[in-house]
Amino acid sequence: MKKLNFRNLLMLLAAVMFIAVSCTKEGAQGPAGADGADGTDGTDGVDANTHCLNCHTAVMMDEITTAFNATPHVVGTSFAYAGTRESCAACHSHDGYVEYVRSGTMIAPTVGTPLVCGSCHGDHASLEDDATAPMREVGPVVAMVDETGGTVFDHGMGNICATCHQARRTGSYYDKYAEPMTFERNFTGDDIAVYTNAAVGPNGSATLDGDTLRVVFDVPTTHVYTSSTHAGPHHGPQSNTFAGITGYPENGIVFDRDHHTDCSGCHLHNEVDAGYGHSFKADIAFCNDCHGEAYDLEGMMAGFADRLHAIEVALEGIHAIHVEDGEAHPLYASLPRDQWQAFWNFMCIYEDNSFGAHNPDYTEQMLTQAETALGL
């Protein structure tokens, strides 16, 4: 048998491939398919540059930053000490606040830092909730003083304000003695003059022993003991004032919310000379646009301020508070229950600092209770 040489082998393979290809033919073309329906064109999106530049212009951002940096959110000393304490940093520190809103956990940052733009303004996802600016928090806020979680503040964009601008305790925190008790404290230095005539209760005493004043506070069940010089609802209980749950009566008149849907409506008005609202100062003229000048909001606030000052004088007279440099400071004291409630209501209105604007009807209730208890 002859051997196939390489040339003959290549020719044989080519012939086989030719036969295979020539035997594979394309079939007849099938019927044409029906045309699909045209889709609906989507709505054009907002031009990014035009939308962003509604806020992010150099002039606007500079004015906002300047106004914001002059507010108590930034200036002051509270960030230096409270901003590093676990129970305080959630409101007194940027890092503490961001973590609290993110996870609900209170942390103790190594360094307390003041609030910045990014404290309140998070990513832009919140714009889907019809917010005009990206807010870190937009949902309702549960009152800290309500352990059952039944009291919820819902102030729209003002919910981010309500997170911190609320009471940390109620009067019942102090008004809790089921049986008679006594408390002894020692005072030195300038405090001796302050506590020589302290409100010690029915059988209390104040005895000077050298450079130390020993005071025994007698607290029968008819009295309430002020156990701290920081007693009160805490600074800024505005949300509680709105809800009518700050003082006495504990369940008072709730603020009329028909036309006041959130905090920003009054405190974040878009005025150029106020840093586009970021001074957070309510403009009375802005309020009059709705209420009309006949309402005389300023007159109401002035009247409440006068009544509050008269209560302040009376409370200092019974040694419930000490006024120094124009500021009222609680004193250790054992007071009859109604007088102590007058002290508490004073602190609620004093710390709210709106002179009734945040809830005129409930402020009237608290003022009336205090005046009646103090014989004013």
Query: What single string gives the DSSP state of each residue in 149-212?
Result: S--EE--GGGHHHHTTSS-S--GGGT---SS-EEEEEEE-TTHHHHHTT----TT-EEEEETTE
- Average pLDDT per 10 consecutive residues for the chain, totaling 376 residues: 52 54 57 69 62 78 90 83 86 91 88 89 71 79 78 83 91 84 96 96 95 96 94 91 90 77 76 78 76 79 96 98 94 97 97 92 96 97
Is residue 334 within 8 Å of residue 223, measured between CB atoms?
yes
Give yes or no for a contact between 197 and 299, defined as CB atoms under 8 angstroms apart. Answer: no
Q: How does DSSP assign 40-88, residue by residue?
A: PPPPPPPPHHHHHTTT--HHHHHHHHHHHHTSTTTSSSHHHHGGGSTTT
Token couple for 61? 């951002």
- Spell out the domain ranges in the chain: 179-220
The pLDDT of residue 1:
44
Residue 29's CB: how many other CB atoms inside 10 A? 6
Per-residue model confidence (pLDDT) at position 108: 87
* Residue of 90, 20, 111 lying closest to 234 (CA atoms): 90
Give the model's pLDDT for residue 268.
81
Go through 204-222 and write b for each residue having 16 or more CB atoms within 10 A of its CB, e for each that does not.
Answer: bebeeeeeebebbbbbeee
Give the pTM: 0.82
Q: Could you tell me which residues come within 8 angstroms of residue 145 by beta carbon, excluding any fewer than 6 positions away?
A: 151, 166, 167, 168, 169, 170, 240, 245
Q: What local confidence, expressed as pLDDT, does residue 2 receive?
A: 47
Q: Which two tokens stand for residue 353?
A: 């600092």
- pLDDT at position 36: 65
